Structure 1
Amino acid sequence: MKLSNHYHKLGSSFYQQTQPSAVARPVLLLWNGPLAQELQIDYSAQQDSELLAQYFSGSKLIDGSKPIAQAYSGHQFGHFNPQLGDGRAHLLGDLSDKQGQYWDVQLKGSGTSFFSRQGDGRCALGPALREYIMSEAMFALGVPTTRCLAVVATGEAVYREQALPGAVVTRIATSHIRVGTFQYFSARNDIESLKKLTSYAIERHFPQLKGVDGEALSGEQVVDFFAAVIAKQVTLVVSWLRVGFIHGVMNTDNTAISGETIDYGPCAMMNHYHSDTVFSSIDRNSRYAFGNQSKIMQWNMARLADCLLPLIDEDEDIASAKLAPLLQQFTDDFKQGYFIMMANKLGIAELEDTDHELINDLLGIMAEKKLDYSQSFVTLRDNLNQAEVDNLLAQESVDDEAEQDKWQQWLKRWYVRIAADVNGAKALMAKTNPLVIPRNHHVEAILASSQAAYQENGDLSDLNNFLAVVQQPYTQLDDTHNYQDAPSDGDENYHTFCGT
């Protein structure tokens, strides 16, 4: 295992070179074997746990590593902070997978840097385990996401409201370039660094846009880059809405231009359907509620556009005229992608205009009746069969629709829509709707039991059992039913908190 350092080559204005802080007694708690194999890491948790604990706690440097804390800015809940940066994270370098794709290797909770802002640079065990659970569950659900390679206990206490066991989590991402990274240089009017960053981002994420080596970055390339970034974000938010994910802190510094989900601090999963659902304790105005996520992503893309204007044309009005249509197109592209996705959740392979009403009416019923979002689609699929469809369609219509239950009315319309290929509809629903999601009450219970068990005897069997299920969310396993139930209180008083 040897790291390269592509981001490091951009220059010192992009980061602070800094070393992770060694920890007292590193112990490897979680190791993502399949991901390690994909990254061509030959070590195993069984044979090399002590060495892996040293490497992925920051106590020992991996060969070739030049650790840095990346610089970035960000709009946090709409308010701009010109200097944020990695205050408790170290980018160790990058590794190539079997397909030749490079991945960043970053430690979180590995000590302070220039950007720490009086923080201690550490991470408690609970947030580290949460990031592992959520990122690997999201990956299995088919959502674009950063991933976790390891969680290492530090043997040291972290002090928040009380003393907590500390940990370091290793995050893997195609890059850690954020909208806030562009804002950092834009706020300083550092056009040369903006050009270097954009060229690097194109080479890393959109090589099809790369020009001839040695040629200067063109305005057309920058416009195409912006369009490509937008397309990634549309796909990302549609994926979130498919599984009921609420990010909770969609700041521009948490918006990766790769279109990967990043930062699993105050995130949560929706239970009964409502577009205004929000759980984050720091989102006091519901800015990042479930149904707002597409609008916020479009707003974040507008902030990226602000940064790119001087790279497109010296005349800001001309540059704006080239990006404005792409920002406006975001709405149409998202709407199209969203309704295609929702149609697929109902087993409809080819979207028609009338399907919009069918989908919206279902969501209205779900909100009114407080139906569970995930369970509803699984139940529809489980009860779907040709005989049931034929039976309902054969029933005579009631003249007075008020006498019919809204649900029965909707069900008959849906059956009419999919009657031509019931088996095909059921198969499509099985691929689109997970049987299990990382439900909030189960995640919290697992985190509580795992932290207690770790401190008592190091037993993480509950956590590993849960991971085994959420890492196969479309397969009915023996233990799947243990984690499918909705919370008895509907998560009415549930709140998530930032892991820092």
Structure 2
Amino acid sequence: MTHAFADALPELALPWQAEPAAAPAQLALDEALAADLGLDPAWLRTDDGLRFLTGTLVPEGARPVAQVYAGHQFGGYSPRLGDGRALLLGELRTRDGQLRDLHLKGSGRTPFARSGDGLAAVGPMLREHVVSTAMHALGVPTTRALAVVATGSDVQREVPLPGAVLARTASSHLRVGSFQYAAAVEAGSGAVPGAPGGLLRRLADHAIARHHPVAAQAGPPAAQYRALLEEVVAAQARLVAQWVLLGFVHGVMNTDNTTISGETIDYGPCAFIDAYDPLASFSSIDTGGRYAYGRQPGIAEWNLARFAEALLPLLVEGGAGQQDDDAARTDRAVAVATEALEGFRVVFGSAFAVGVHRKLGLDTRAVDRAVSGPVVDDLLALAADARVDHTTLYRRLGDAARAGSGDAVLPLFADPAVRGRAEAWVPRWLALRPDAELADRTNPVVVPRNHLVEEALAAATAGDLAPVERLVDAVSRPFEARAGFERYAEPAPASFGDYTTFCGT
């Protein structure tokens, strides 16, 4: 295990130790992921393995640190956040040579915990295990849960709950908030912002080397940092397009949860929509719906603008000089950043258009977009007006394409106010000759349905892990219609009611 992040950026890494777990017991382990990281799954189940997974047995080469970063949380800026209940143990290499962080969540208070207890409960940690497993199987870039270990102690929330530690992996934990913190430190120190050897420049160089090495080939340093911005903008645009296509609502899209790698991170108050609703919002703390389902692209773009602001000192050549020169240099940097940010809508628009066409069984290379575009738009409008189940609607399109009729989908539009529009839509879509196999490959049978997630987590909190294990099995093969897993493809019953998610802190 290495400690490259702590070595390269000590200003962002506070050495710290995990709190001992009273009676660690394994709740979940991704054996395939463990093996890919060079870890023996059998050893991870031993006493020493459990101590490793809870951070109290520090392996050779590891140097546990709590990371510091800033962030805009629900639009309000916090200059110093950081890992209040988490530790980065270090980095491991996968079988194909990729570097991965090994990170703990719920391992105890750090100096960044503020008023938090630094602990985590079984339910929220298993939620991250379930949903990140599903996202990986769905092809969405994501952090991944290696293991969840019960600590043997309770944590106090509204009621006492059994505690747990999540061990997760990621390409890294660099985030927009990391750059916001570095830029603020330099601005407040009196040093020249973005100077060679300074924290902001070293952080940007580290991000390029680790995630976007193509940027290093862009030319002089300023061109490389512009390329970094463009790469991160594109990665986030593609990621959020995938979220929207699948009906995923992150729930807490703060800048400290926006990664430089383009991976999904932090599955606290997340959910998947049932009824299609662009304003769907589930998080108990998102009272204004800032991070609602259909608002996610705009929020991602806003977050990336904060990233661009942090990078401004790096985006044009030259050092600080006279006041007028500094003002002109800033103006040039803002122009560069603005142009780079304009790429978000281009990349998102393209990724979403290609993806939603594929969901309808249409290849954008083979259809006339002037004809197919309105067909796509009209289906989205129909789904919103009828509040049709998102996952079910798209999955049934494969059956409808095979049958050459709307029999598989029209029953979803039972409301007379939209039924006629749906009946008129089907022949227009069929005239585009949709490919049933393409639709099936694109649209999952199974996503982590909210009612099933809650059912499984409640059982696990009470000591029964079987429902979680069954749910993980279901979401691990999301595109397969398997006998015995029919209930995992069904929408929530009406009795489930409105759904609210919580952060777990």
After TM superposition, the score normalised by the length of structure 1 is 0.91
**What residue is the counterpart of 1:488 in the other structure?**
493
Question: Partners in 2 of 1:146 and 1:11 — Cα distance?
Answer: 21
Q: Residue 384 of structure 1: CA displacement?
A: 2.4
Distance 1:50 1:403, change over 3 A: closer
> What is the CA distance between 1:277 and its match in structure 2?
0.7
Question: Contact (CA 8 Å) 1:124, 1:165: kept in 2 or not?
Answer: yes
1:4–1:347 distance in 2 versus 1, CA, 3 Å:
same
SS at match of 2:132: helix
- Structure 2 vs 1, CA of residues 490 and 436 (structure 1 numbering), >3 Å: closer, same or farther? farther
CA distance in 1, matches of 2:350, 2:495: 31
The partner residue of 1:312 within 299, 315, 334 is: 315
CA deviation profile, 1:426-452 (whole Å, cap 9, x unmatched) = 111111100010010110000001111
Secondary structure in 1 aligned to 2:401?
Answer: coil
Distance 2:305 2:400 in 1: 44
CA distance 1:194–1:83, change in 2 (3 Å): same
Matches within 5 A, 1:214-233: 218-233=221-236
Give the equivalent residue in structure 2 for 1:398.
none
Equivalence for 1:112: 109
Q: Go from structure 1 to structure 2 and tell me whether the alpha carbon gap of 1:441 and 1:318 turns closer, same or farther (over 3 Å shift).
A: same
> Amino acid of the residue matched to residue 353 of structure 1?
A
Q: Deviations over 1:298-340 (max 9, x none)?
A: 0011000001110122511111111211212211221122111
Q: Distance in 1 between matches of 2:240 and 2:307?
A: 17
Deviations along 1:37-63, one digit per CA (max 9) or x if unpaired, are: 111212326x84322211111221122
1:322 corresponds to: 336
Q: Which amino acid aligns with 1:325?
A: E
SS of the residue aligned with 1:166? strand
- Equivalent-residue separation in structure 2 for 1:345 and 1:316 (angstroms): 44
What secondary structure sits across from 1:353 in the alignment? helix
Q: Indicate yes or no: 2:401 matched with 1:384.
A: yes
Aligned mates of 2:370, 2:288 — CA distance in 1: 34
Aligned residues: 473
Residue of structure 1 equivalent to 2:455: 445
Q: Do the aligned residues in 2 keep the contact of 1:272 with 1:490 (CA within 8 Å)?
A: no
Partners of 1:364 and 1:211 in 2: CA distance:
44
Aligned positions of 1:92-131 closer than 5 A:
92-131=89-128
The answer on whether the counterparts of 1:272 and 1:370 sit within 8 Å (CA) in structure 2 is yes
Deviations 1:82-109 (A, max 9, x none): 0000000000000000111100000000
What SS does structure 2 have at the residue aligned with 1:58?
coil
Aligned: 1:434 with 2:439:
no
- 1:24 is aligned to 22
1:196 aligns with 2:202: yes
Q: Secondary structure at the match of 2:498?
A: coil
Q: 1:331 aligns with which of 339, 345, 358?
A: 345
Match for residue 469 of structure 2 among 451, 464, 475: 464
Larger displacement relative to structure 2 (404-413 or 232-241): 404-413
Distance in 1 separating the partners of 2:436 and 2:242: 20
How much has 1:12 moved relative to structure 2?
A: 2.7
Q: Which of 35, 39, 42 is residue 37 of structure 1 equivalent to?
A: 35
User: Matches of residues 98-177 of structure 1 in structure 2 within 5 Å?
Assistant: 98-177=95-174
Q: Could you tell me how far apart the structure 2 residues matched to 1:143 and 1:275 are?
A: 20
Name which of 355, 367, 371 aligns with 1:354: 371
CA–CA distance in structure 2, aligned partners of residues 409 and 49 of structure 1: 61
Q: Which residue does 1:7 correspond to in 2?
A: 5
Partner SS, residue 279 of structure 1: coil
Matches of 1:102 and 1:353 in 2, distance apart?
44
1:206 to 207, 212, 232: 212
- 1-structure distance, mates of 2:184, 2:497: 41
Counterpart in the other structure of 1:366? 383
Select the residue among 415, 418, 422 that pairs with 1:407. 422
- Aligned twin of 1:399: none
Q: How far apart, in 2, do the equivalents of 1:482 and 1:332 lie?
A: 39
Counterpart pick for 1:340 among 336, 354, 376? 354
Within a 5 Å distance, the mapping from 1:199-278 to structure 2 comes to 199-210=205-216, 218-278=221-281
Is the Cα contact below 8 Å between 1:271 and 1:491 reproduced in 2? no
What is the CA–CA distance in structure 1 between the aligned matches of 2:496 and 2:180, rounded to whole Å?
36
RMSD value, Cα: 2.0
Alignment match of 2:176 (pick from 179, 184, 204): 179
Shift of 1:492: 4.6
CA shift, 1:386, in A, is 5.4
SS at match of 2:392: helix
The answer to which of 49-58 and 123-132 deviates more is: 49-58
Q: How far apart in 2 are the matches of 1:84 and 1:489?
A: 40
The CA distance in 1 between the partners of 2:268 and 2:238, in whole Å, is 22
The gaps in structure 2 that reach 5 residues or longer are 188-192, 320-328, 407-416
Cα distance change of structure 1 residues 63 and 493 upon mapping to structure 2, 3 Å threshold: same
Give the drift of 1:387: 5.1
Change (3 A) 1:224 1:270: same
Q: TM-score, normalised by structure 2?
A: 0.90
Q: Note if contact 2:401-2:430 (Cα within 8 Å) is conserved in structure 1.
A: no
1:394 corresponding residue in structure 2: none
Q: State the 1:253 CA deviation.
A: 0.3
TM-fit CA distance, 1:491: 5.9
Residue number in structure 1 paired with 2:291: 288
Segment of structure 1 superposing worse, 130-139 or 111-120: 111-120
2:275 aligned counterpart, secondary structure: coil
Q: In structure 1, how many angstroms separate the alpha carbons of the residues matched to 2:378 and 2:424?
A: 10
Instruction: Name the CA distance, whole Å, in 2 between partners of 1:270 and 1:170.
Output: 27
One-letter code of the match for 2:235? K
Unaligned runs of 5+ in 1: 390-401
Q: Is the 8 A contact 1:28 1:50 kept in 2?
A: no
> How far has the Cα of 1:72 moved from its partner?
0.2
- The separation in 1 between residues aligned to 2:372 and 2:74, in whole angstroms, is 35
Aligned to 1:473: 478
Residues 132-163 of structure 1: CA deviation (Å, up to 9, x unaligned): 01111111111111000000000011111111
User: What is the Cα deviation at residue 185 of structure 1?
Assistant: 1.2
C-alpha contact (below 8 Å) 1:16/1:113 kept by paired residues:
no
CA distance in 2, matches of 1:386, 1:281: 43
Q: Distance in 2 between matches of 1:405 and 1:24?
A: 62
Check whether the contact 2:281–2:289 (CA below 8 A) recurs between aligned residues. Answer: yes
